[in-house]
Structure 1
Amino acid sequence: MSDRAAAIDVGTNTVLLLVAERREDGTFAPLVERAEITRLGRGVDRTGRLDPAAIRDTVTVVAAYAAEARALGAARIACVATSAARDAANSAEFFDAARDQAGLVPEVISGDEEARLVYASAWRDFGILPGAAPGPLAVVDVGGGSTEVTFGDGPLPRGRQSLQVGAVRLTERHVRADPLPPAEARALREAAAEAMRPLAPWRGVGAAPGARLVGVAGTVTTLSAVSQGIAQYDAGRVHGAALSLAEVERLYALLAGLTVAERARLPGMEPKRADVIVGGCAVVAESMRALGFDRLTVSDRGVRWGLLYDRADRG
């Protein structure tokens, strides 16, 4: 009898699904992975409430994911919600609709818990690499509403920070024109740099022997895909790829100088992400500077993978 499980991650910008089958060695082989941008958190930073249309769009996707997971024989479906659901005053409307239409209620997780799950996923993939010098691992997960930063030198993190800045939040606060005027592009970077102040105690992490930085989530994977010019997204080419700070800076200048429509046509760009990618790129660049890294390793995995392993380990 197969041991199949599913994990659904409801983020501020994107809803992600993983259905996987557990192997005899305890690892999981993915059967299905999906991502759909529904932007549950649009407007939350300004209004403090989830938009009714965003709730409908997100619940429709969650219901479809749950149905697919059950059809594939997933005995367990873990579903979590992050920044937008944490911040909104009317999150209950979303939870009620998800229960009625999808037959499950997303569990709201804290920023710290989100960071722990992302770190667990990154450590399994990049914590100990053959032939690589051992050293600390830092993980940056750039979301729509928040950015989670985690640091450790083993399977459990030693430090965590949940920063109230993400691709959607930063864009809604600071982007008004299309394309961005130079002054607006500078203000966006300054706001991202200011949001990194809590990372000041970790400023020397990147200089430690063997230190590595892993970047997680849609902003980072999209930057990698655009950098490589991948016409159709290929996780095999993105997961484990490297992005230098110099390349991130080049991409920021490129993307900020284009209109949203022009960005959407770039090879590797997910069209629904084109309006917030400049804000996300600013967060990536400033987090690398704050931690002292000149390159990062791209991870195509995140909360959903950490959640799958976490719940499996609990039995």
Structure 2
Amino acid sequence: MTDHAPQFAATALPETAPPAASRVEHGPAPFAALDLGTNNCRLLMAAPTSSGFRVVDSFSRIVRLGEGLANTGRLAEPAMERAAAALRACADKLARRQVRRLEAVATEACRRAENGPAFLARITAETGLRLRVISAREEAELAMESCAPLLEAGDRRALLFDIGGGSTEIAWIRVPADGVPELIGYVSLPLGVVTLAERAGNSCFTEHGFFEVVDEVAAYLARFDQVHRIGQEIRAGGVRLMGTSGTVTTLAGVAMALPRYRRPLVDGKTLDCEAADLALGDLFALGREGLAAHPCVGPERVEFVLPGCAVYAAIRRVWPTPRLTVADRGLREGMLTRMIRAERGGRRRAR
């Protein structure tokens, strides 16, 4: 099992604004956060506000950078070209704005790939972008920061999970009554929606194949539970289950019967876990064609939804809780929060 950590960041809810057409802008220059993952390439640009930040531009594209990585240990040429094309688009967006600071990171695929360093060097040569490969622990801490505002009075602990493309991160968090959340423990499972989709293939569309994945993931989680006694803490009360990934946001969209996915309605929503479980059953029953046609899924994500649902089902099996808080936020929001906080801290020290 590879060590990986979830990331946490405290942020205000972003609002989306149309991209600027040129460098001529009103207001302060934005911060920018770029996240190259196993499945997606995402960019977020935001201007600081009194309560957090306001999003002024964004970009997201499925690139499947980790395609085939589990079998070969290397990034495949077509996957690298897809990611490079997305990163060129990000570089073009950044060139049209006066950005005050950029943080660009790469995660699981580039951590694991033998040719990851060479690929990132190529990206720097082609685009000028310098992506930093972050550790599992930093990834966990950034996710924690981004989701911290969703905690409420009465929460003693939080269990945060992020079902990614190449891995699944679990973070176990202490929530002091009068302080900032603290990461108690974390684990990264070498199982994500891309790796599971490649390995399990069509079997996740069958009941037998689906529950084979659930059993495998649950075995990993049970070992983490033995160390931290999370189930015991859940029974004592005051533990919030939080999920941030396409899997849980899709489950929320289905449970809420949204005619199309809308982030403002989903981010921060707390669902009864029974409703999320029913949504999982609905998705499984749709089959491949039904998933492709579903407004909260679509053809690009058909292969990944049920593997992600199997990971979620394993989490529910090992850690049954009555409610699930859904977060449509992650590393980019965490990076933006850190940059804004660092700048404000520097100003206070200067004064």
In the TM superposition, residue 86 of structure 1 has moved relative to its aligned partner by: 0.9
Structure 1 or 2, whichever has the larger Rg, is: 2
Tell me, in whole angstroms, the C-alpha distance in 2 between the residues paired with 1:312 and 1:198. 37
Residue 53 (structure 1) aligns with: 78
TM-score, reference length from structure 2: 0.81
For residues 207-286 of structure 1, what are the structure 2 equivalents within 5 Å? 207-286=235-314
2:195 paired with 1:169? yes
Residue 10 (structure 1) aligns with: 36
Report SS of the residue matched to 1:198. helix
Read off the aligned partner of 1:95 and give its amino acid letter. Answer: L
Read off the aligned partner of 1:155 and give its amino acid letter. Answer: P
2:149 paired with 1:152? no
Residue 150 (structure 2) aligns with: 126
Mark the runs of 5 or more structure 2 residues left unpaired by the alignment.
Answer: 1-26, 344-351
Mark the runs of 5 or more structure 1 residues left unpaired by the alignment.
Answer: none
4+ long deviations beyond 6 Å:
none
- Name the % identity: 31
Instruction: For residues 155-204 of structure 1, give each alpha carbon's deviation from its aligned partner in whole angstroms, at most 9, with x where no partner exists.
Output: 33222222222111222222334x72322122122122123233213223
Q: Are the structure 2 counterparts of residues 32 and 233 from structure 1 closer, same or farther at C-alpha, using a change threshold of 3 Å?
A: farther
Report SS of the residue matched to 1:89. coil
Residue 141 (structure 1) aligns with: 162
Q: Are the structure 2 counterparts of residues 161 and 205 from structure 1 closer, same or farther at C-alpha, using a change threshold of 3 Å?
A: farther
Q: Are the structure 2 counterparts of residues 33 and 231 from structure 1 closer, same or farther at C-alpha, using a change threshold of 3 Å?
A: farther
For residues 42-81 of structure 1, what are the structure 2 equivalents within 5 Å? 42-81=67-106
Aligned residues: 309
Tell me, in whole angstroms, the C-alpha distance in 2 between the residues paired with 1:268 and 1:63. 28
Residue 46 (structure 2) aligns with: 20
Residue 336 (structure 2) aligns with: 308
Q: Are the structure 2 counterparts of residues 214 and 33 from structure 1 closer, same or farther at C-alpha, using a change threshold of 3 Å?
A: farther
In the TM superposition, residue 31 of structure 1 has moved relative to its aligned partner by: 1.3
Read off the aligned partner of 1:11 and give its amino acid letter. Answer: G
Tell me, in whole angstroms, the C-alpha distance in 2 between the residues paired with 1:280 and 1:134. 26
Report SS of the residue matched to 2:303. coil
Tell me, in whole angstroms, the C-alpha distance in 1 between the residues paired with 2:182 and 2:298. 33
TM-score, reference length from structure 1: 0.90
Tell me, in whole angstroms, the C-alpha distance in 2 between the residues paired with 1:66 and 1:293. 43
Q: Aligned Cα RMSD in Å?
A: 2.0
For CA contacts below 8 A with separation 6 or more, give which structure has more relative contact order. Answer: 2
Read off the aligned partner of 1:209 and give its amino acid letter. Answer: G
Contact residue 261 and residue 295 of structure 2 kept, 8 A: no
Report SS of the residue matched to 2:182. coil
Q: Are the structure 2 counterparts of residues 120 and 198 from structure 1 closer, same or farther at C-alpha, using a change threshold of 3 Å?
A: farther
Report SS of the residue matched to 1:275. helix
Residue 299 (structure 1) aligns with: 327
Contact residue 18 and residue 34 of structure 1 kept, 8 A: yes
Residue 8 (structure 2) aligns with: none
